[in-house]
Amino acid sequence: MPKVSVVMTLFNSEPFIGAAIGSVLGQTYSDYEIVVVDDGSTDGSAAIVKSFGERVRYVHQPNRGCAHATNHGVALSSGEYVAFLENDDVWLPQKLERQVAVLDLTPDVGAVNCDLQYVTEEGVIEEDWIQGRVPHDPYSRVFLKGFNFMLSALMLRRTAFEKTGGFFEGFRAAGLQDVEWYARLMDITTAHHIPEALALFRRHGHRIASKTRVRNEDILLERLLIRFRQDSRKRRYILSRRVAFLSNQGKAQIDKGRIEEGRKELRAAVRLGLGARVGAKMVVRSLLRLARSVG
């Protein structure tokens, strides 16, 4: 049984999957397995993964979404610790070694993250980075105890993953499924932050479609509200974010010429904000947007 299970998922990731796997094989820590779940790719990703031979366990499944593929990968793995690597990101050589040391030495810690540095589509490392601790961020303050989690920066105990129940598979497409899961993770365990960039987050043009992002945002807010409805602080935050979501959706609809649909969303934002007494600024903004849509 390996100490660490590296779980990766992919869907049409031909340009980047080879570099991602190569960064795992280049780790200074060697007691790991790699499980790659292909969520129905139609490009050359499978051939690239298979070219690594027995060093990588490749599993293909019909397209069922990133959340399902991730859960499937964890279920197929066996390590005491689980580390996730997005198919377009890259690890620096000491990432696993440094994080294993933290979990080995601090049994009360369930998860460990690190900073990430940006890398271009062509592989050029940039100067700016993503910090693993951002206590000023509203979401981080309310749900994540000052942490900023990115999947490629995370390692956690298998027992902690199991306690969360895994990723919610209602997210059919990638995008925000990890955000919803992080809130549940930090509800059941503690985390440690290594203030060093041990992973690279790739910037590239293959973005999540706007319709998918909107749908996932709706699912995220609904899921958070269900889970944390008894926590007044978290509930207020979710409702205020819901007001902003409805207002921005209303504006987007109006900008596309769908005037009545947009007004409906804006009126819903006003009703929710006034009824729950949250999001005062967005309520005012929604009213102004309604007024402009009439003119």
**The pLDDT of residue 295:** 66
Q: How far apart are CA 40 and CA 34, in angstroms?
A: 19
265 CB-near residues (< 8 Å, 6+ apart): 246, 247, 249, 250, 253
Q: How far apart are CA 164 and CA 84, in angstroms?
A: 15
Express each pLDDT in 26-39 by its tens digit: 999 999 999 999 99
CA R_g for the chain: 21
Query: What b/e string do you get for 269-287 counting C-beta neighbours within 10 Å, with b at 16 or more?
Result: bbebbeeeebbeebbebbb
Looking at the DSSP bridge assignments, the partners of residue 83 are 6, 155
- Read off the pLDDT band of 149 (50, 70, 90): very high
**The pLDDT of residue 109:** 98
Mean pLDDT of 113-135: 90
206 DSSP 8-state letter: -
Q: Are 10 and 45 in contact (CB under 8 A)?
A: yes
Domain 4-202 sits in CATH at 3.90.550.10
Would you say residue 212 has pLDDT above 90? no
Does residue 147 sit in helix, strand or coil?
Answer: strand
Would you say residue 172 has pLDDT above 80? no
Tokens 């490629």 map to which residue? 152
Alpha-carbon distance values, 287 to 3, 85, 205, 260, 276 (Å): 56, 43, 35, 15, 16
Q: How far apart are CA 140 and CA 234, in angstroms?
A: 11
Question: Between the CA atoms of 39, 45, 50 and 51, what dihedral angle is there, to the nearest 10 degrees?
Answer: -160
**The pLDDT of residue 125:** 86
**The pLDDT of residue 71:** 97
Would you say residue 192 has pLDDT above 60? yes
Q: What does the DSSP assignment read for 108-126?
A: T--EEEEEEEEE-TTSPEE
Tell me how long the chain is.
Answer: 295
**The pLDDT of residue 195:** 97
**The pLDDT of residue 56:** 97
Q: How far apart are CA 88 and CA 153, in angstroms?
A: 13
Does residue 192 sit in helix, strand or coil?
Answer: strand
Would you say residue 177 has pLDDT above 90? no
**The pLDDT of residue 120:** 87
226 DSSP 8-state letter: H
188 CB-near residues (< 8 Å, 6+ apart): 110, 160, 163, 164
Would you say residue 12 has pLDDT above 60? yes
**The pLDDT of residue 294:** 84
* Least trusted range by pLDDT, from 3-12, 213-222, 226-235, 250-259: 213-222
**The pLDDT of residue 92:** 97
- Read off the pLDDT band of 257 (50, 70, 90): very high
**The pLDDT of residue 32:** 98
Mean pLDDT of 145-171: 94
Does residue 5 sit in helix, strand or coil?
Answer: strand
Express each pLDDT in 71-123 by its tens digit: 999 999 999 999 999 999 999 999 999 999 999 999 999 999 999 999 888 87
Which tokens is 233 given?
């602080």
